[in-house]
Amino acid sequence: MRWTIKPKPETKKLEALQKALQVDEVVATLLLQRGIDTYEDAKTFFRPSLADLHDPFLMQDMDKAVARIEHAFLQKENILVFGDYDVDGTSSVALMSSYLKTRVDRIATYIPDRYDEGYGVSYQGIDFAKDNDFTLIIALDCGVKAIDKVAYAKEKGIDFIICDHHRPGENLPDAVAVLDPKRGDCNYPYKELCGCGVGFKLIQALASKQNKKVEDLTQYLDLVATAIGADIVPITGENRTLAYFGMQVINANPRPGIQAIINQVKKTELTITDVVFTVAPRINAAGRMKHGNYAVTLLTEMDFALAEKYATEIETFNTDRRDADKRITEEALQQIEEHKEQEGFTTVVYHETWHKGVIGIVASRLIETYYRPTLVFTKSGDKLAASARSVSGFDVYNALEACATHIEQFGGHKYAAGLTLKEENYEAFKQAFEAVVSKTIAKSLMTPEIKIDRKIDLRQVDGRLWRIIKQFAPFGPGNMTPIFVTEDLQDTGYGKCVGEDDKHLRITVTQPQADKIVCIGFGLGNKLDLITNKKRFKAVYSVDENHWQGNVSLQLKLRDLKA
């Protein structure tokens, strides 16, 4: 692990913020590192308000989208809500369809089959719309690159409204409206919305025409928060406000489908991290193992008994997903070991039988072992399909763009993408990808990095600091959990390995002039030797809370240790 301490803020700015907020240097540093340098910025950060959300009509084409949907309402047209099969896509479809059904009856949903249709807008979906007299398709979390498909729909008399957040190509589809903050000509102030976030801006705009305020739409924010967490978009600006209020809905009054999942995982107060690791994988499992329709059905069901039944079905898919994920990861690791002599700057593996629904998870797992931009391929019809994942700081989307001559189709983000190619192009693509990455990746990025906010002493870790840190939530990219480093630590003599195969480390540490505090280090069991026999060491950690038999105490969540 590379330990990188973030630069210390400018002294003048630090002192000015300390004075304005009446906080200590540690808190002022954390805020300045997040771009918060005034009293007003801090007030917005600590006390988010729905009033801070931007006017949806600032988004390019929003007026056209609203006018076309209102026309469809008046003309009693059938509207098809189309979305991708992942959490962002299914949440978007659930959000849009449930809102539109409060206005009119003629609404249906369509999620493409991951295996038969693949990612994004599909010809089969358009044919379904034509056969069932749909004259308007609202596509969410996909569509910004679907130029040929939107043209095909137009020939059949079907209009498109696209709500996407992926990077557009050179040209946009000929849709009635393309809502995407990443459009070059879009002046919307916040660029990092997820697909569900763009969908929420559209229903906000539609509701405003009925003189409704954003506060009237809070019931949809549990879906938006779930999508924000699952899609790993920055939790800054508008996303932070949406996630903040969405988490309140999830913990106080979520829709029956989300409540049914929460009941299964037996959690009480959820953080956005819990949503990412417990709620989102279950919603995702439907599209991975069976069909995304199951997720939409769960998320739109208002009868709690039925929602519990659907959640039980989805739990089965999730169990299957875990089993497949574990088996394929083991097979992929074995494949890499067998070809160690070919090791370079990338990891690219392929097997025709691997389950397409879990190759993205497997790619992430491989990065945990071999820290390289990674692609996992499987057979999909007469083509090969892959999921790409990257390491922190490296843009895998740009790398794929540089290999476009070998690829049939690709799309995604800086750190996660998907692609398809012809089997005969696999070897040439693999070589091209390795060549591009080897030329463009900084060698330092091949070692995992821990970004440390600040060096502090153990005595600075107290209840007051913890209460303020809790107010920094929800955490995520752009607003990660504060990470500290402390030197000159000693174990009190009771440090030990715990958990299955002694994988984890549990120690109680002290430092001169400081109280002792319990630490837990997940996956750090192999560092036990560093702390035995009262050896002095330094640790990187976040501050956390331990709940045990009704007692609550502070603890440190260790990220790494060094002598």
Q: Encode pLDDT of 255-313 as tens digits.
A: 999 999 999 888 778 999 999 999 999 999 998 888 999 999 999 999 999 999 999 99
pLDDT confidence of residue 342: 62
pLDDT confidence of residue 119: 80
- Residue 519 near residue 484, CB atoms below 8 Å: no
pLDDT confidence of residue 522: 95
In the numeric block, the tokens 């992926």 are attached to 166
Q: Where are the alpha helices (DSSP H) in 56-133?
A: 62-74, 87-100, 123-131
Q: What is the mean pLDDT of the chain?
A: 94
Cα–Cα dist 422/406, whole Å? 8
Residue 120 DSSP code: S
Beta strand 449-452 with 551-562: parallel, antiparallel or unpaired?
unpaired
CATH topology assigned to domain 339-446: Diaminopimelate Epimerase; Chain A, domain 1 (3.10.310)
CATH topology assigned to domain 56-313: inorganic pyrophosphatase (n-terminal core) (3.90.1640)
Cα–Cα dist 346/373, whole Å? 5
In the numeric block, the tokens 């007003």 are attached to 40
Each residue's pLDDT tens digit, 191-202: 999 999 999 999
Look up residue 218 and give its two tokens: 């809070």
- Residue 506 near residue 498, CB atoms below 8 Å: yes
Which segments of the chain have a pLDDT < 50? none
Report if pTM > 0.85: yes
In the chain, what are the domain boundaries? 2-6+450-562, 56-313, 339-446
Name the CATH code of domain 2-6+450-562 (choices 2.60.40.3080, 2.40.50.100, 1.10.510.10, 2.40.50.460).
2.40.50.460
Q: Is 523 left (phi over 0), alpha (psi -120 to 50) or beta?
A: left
pLDDT confidence of residue 136: 98
Residues across the chain = 563
Look up residue 127 and give its two tokens: 């044919």
Each residue's pLDDT tens digit, 487-516: 999 999 889 999 988 999 999 999 988 889
Each residue's pLDDT tens digit, 435-463: 999 999 999 999 999 999 999 999 999 99
- Using DSSP, how many helices (H) and how many strands (E) does the chain show? 19, 19
Which residues touch 64 (CB under 8 Å, ≥6 apart)? Answer: 176, 177
pLDDT confidence of residue 341: 56
Residue 183 DSSP code: S
116: exposed, middle or buried (C-beta count within 10 Å: 0-12, 13-18, 19+)? exposed
